Amino acid sequence: MTRDKTDRGWAWAIVVGVTVINLAVLPMLQCFGLIFAERFMSLGIAATQTSLILHLNGTITCSLGLISGPMMKRFAFRQVAYFGCLTIVLGICAAAFAVSLPTLIITYCVIIGIGQGIIYPATTLALNTYFRKKRNIAMGFSVTMTGLGPILMPLLIDVLLENYATTGTLLILAGIATHSFIGASLLRPFEKQKEIILVDKTTDILKEEKSSRKAEASCAKNEANLQDDVVQCRLLDEEDAEKERQSNHRHLENSEMRENKNRGTSFLKKIATNLDLDLLHDNCYIAIVLGMSVSLVAETNFNAMIPFVLAELASLDRTSIATVMSIQAAADITGRLCVPLLAQKAGWTCRNLYVISLLGSILGRTILSTWSNSYVIVIGVSLIVGLAKGTKAVFQALIIPDYVPLERLPSASGIQMVCNGILSISVGPIIGLVHDLTESYVGALYFTSLLSLSCVFLWSISGLWTPGKNILRLNQRSLEEQENSHQNV
């Protein structure tokens, strides 16, 4: 295996490493509501406070996007992944003994959030560095294998909570998270192939002789210039010398003022260059980031609050909720496997599939908020939401890499993470506040769907998603296939 080649060799070991990291550290996030439901109930934590904990974690995770670009330029992604995995393990161990809202914020939001914010840029950059042509396949395989975790983890966590309560369950999850170090060990830095250049000795000798002659000529020229300067200095009058001193003094003062001014501007320019803030001049990039951030807040809140929603609207117990979550995860992994193949045949872009996944989630939440009394309908909703979630998981990680070049990807992803964090802490708790004001999750579900729909509307007016073009492209592709089949016949 050669590690200086893309799309083959060690690149597939990178996929395995990223998958192992995700399987080890994501159960804490995916089963957030299932793990902490009883502890929140015993502590009297309301829905608004639950949303605050959830979105503060996301905000701290995304706020590290500001330093992710410079961090990934300074350190290798293996080193960054090691540090992030260690931080998450320590955070889960500390969260096991958190029995108040402040300690939950410190452990789950701050410590675990920092670890997640460090790991995400490392794994994303590793995949996009080792894969160019087969990036979609690699990302699809990674997120598909990661989707195996949510199928089994809710059932496992239900058994662990029954036998070891919340504290013991979290300590066991911390032990599972230590396996992320194995995945981090596989993230070997990408090394380019070194080129060996053979140079003829005779050409080296000729170059040395030529450079020595140039050096002698330049020295003679400098001596002549020096003699001319001495003669000119002797011919200067005293008045001319005084005027020159005054002008030099004024010039020195002006240069000092310009230097002080340039220091401030150069410092700001250096920050803007390191963070690659020129991306903010691109209106399409801004629309992509804003749309993804708003929808991410809505979808993350809904996925984390599913246990609370099902317990209130459908009156399900913990075991039934775990079963529904496992069924949703099975539909999730089905979507990750099947939808990319169908999308490739249809010729749709990542943004198109992302919008379709949002519309599927909106449909599922609407059905759940209207007909939540039937267990069969709840299972059907879990299938719809799972397919939409799997589709979104595959293509949301490819939207930014498909739009910006690889050298600007760390900064572009960092800006997106910062935007995610700002909107998460500012919009996310409003979802919990809607529940507390209406005393029902029905209003919260409608508000969540409205947030997801805003992404569809923003991309539509920005020209990033046009349903008519997608249908036309699909028809053209089918016509081309028919013509090719006729020609082959």
Beta carbons within 8 Å of 40's beta carbon, 6+ residues apart: 50
pLDDT at 198: 40
CA–CA gap between residue 431 and residue 366 (Å, rounded): 16
Closest by CA to 57, choosing from 420, 340, 390, 464, is: 420
pLDDT at 224: 45
Q: Which amino acid is at 339?
A: V
How many Cα atoms within 13 Å fall on the side-chain side of residue 244?
A: 7
Determine whether 488 is exposed, middle or buried from the number of CB atoms within 10 Å of its CB (0-12, 13-18, 19+). Answer: exposed
pLDDT at residue 419 tops 50:
yes
pLDDT at residue 341 tops 90:
no
Helices marked H in 314-405 = 318-346, 350-370, 375-403
pLDDT at 233: 42
pLDDT class of 2 with cuts at 50, 70, 90? very low
When mean pLDDT is compared across 107-121, 130-144, 169-183, 445-459, the lowest value belongs to 130-144
pLDDT at residue 241 tops 60:
no
pLDDT at residue 266 tops 70:
no
CA–CA gap between residue 327 and residue 346 (Å, rounded): 27
Q: In the numeric block, which tokens belong to residue 446? A: 């409608």
Per-position DSSP letters for 123-180, written without gaps between them = HHHHHHHH-STTHHHHHHHHHHHHTHHHHHHHHHHHHHHHHHHHHHHHHHHHHHHTTH
For residues 122 and 189, the answer to whether their CB atoms sit within 8 Å is: no
* Alpha carbon 155 to chain centroid, angstroms: 28
pLDDT class of 209 with cuts at 50, 70, 90? low
pLDDT class of 272 with cuts at 50, 70, 90? low
pLDDT at residue 47 tops 90:
no
Residue 373 backbone dihedrals phi, psi, to 5 degrees: -80, -25
pLDDT class of 164 with cuts at 50, 70, 90? very high
CA–CA gap between residue 49 and residue 53 (Å, rounded): 6
Closest by CA to 147, choosing from 303, 321, 293, is: 303
Average pLDDT over residues 406-435: 84
How many Cα atoms within 13 Å fall on the side-chain side of residue 357?
A: 30
Q: Which amino acid is at 192?
A: K
pLDDT at 276: 66
Q: In the numeric block, which tokens belong to residue 77? A: 């992604």
Average pLDDT over residues 218-243: 48
pLDDT class of 411 with cuts at 50, 70, 90? confident
pLDDT class of 239 with cuts at 50, 70, 90? low
pLDDT class of 271 with cuts at 50, 70, 90? low
Average pLDDT over residues 13-35: 90
When mean pLDDT is compared across 98-107, 390-399, 459-468, the lowest value belongs to 459-468
Average pLDDT over residues 12-17: 91
Closest by CA to 324, choosing from 381, 387, 388, is: 381
pLDDT at residue 185 tops 70:
yes
pLDDT at 472: 45
pLDDT class of 244 with cuts at 50, 70, 90? low
CA–CA gap between residue 399 and residue 56 (Å, rounded): 25
Cα-based distances in Å from 128 to 125, 148, 247, 260, 333: 5, 22, 58, 41, 22
The CA-CA-CA angle for residues 71, 275, 278, to 5°, reads: 155
pLDDT at 11: 86
pLDDT at 234: 45
Reported as a single tens digit per residue, the pLDDT across 452-489 is 999 999 988 887 766 655 544 444 544 455 455 445 54
pLDDT at 230: 44
Q: In the numeric block, which tokens belong to residue 182? A: 């194995």
When mean pLDDT is compared across 166-170, 275-279, 406-410, the lowest value belongs to 275-279
Q: Read off the DSSP letter of residue 281.
A: G
When mean pLDDT is compared across 55-64, 91-100, 130-139, 475-484, the lowest value belongs to 475-484
The length of the chain in residues reads: 489
The reported pTM is 0.69
pLDDT at residue 248 tops 80:
no
For residues 300 and 53, the answer to whether their CB atoms sit within 8 Å is: no
Average pLDDT over residues 437-463: 90
Mean pLDDT rounded to a whole number for the chain: 79
Residue 183 backbone dihedrals phi, psi, to 5 degrees: -65, -40
CA–CA gap between residue 56 and residue 421 (Å, rounded): 8
Closest by CA to 157, choosing from 373, 366, 343, 322, is: 322
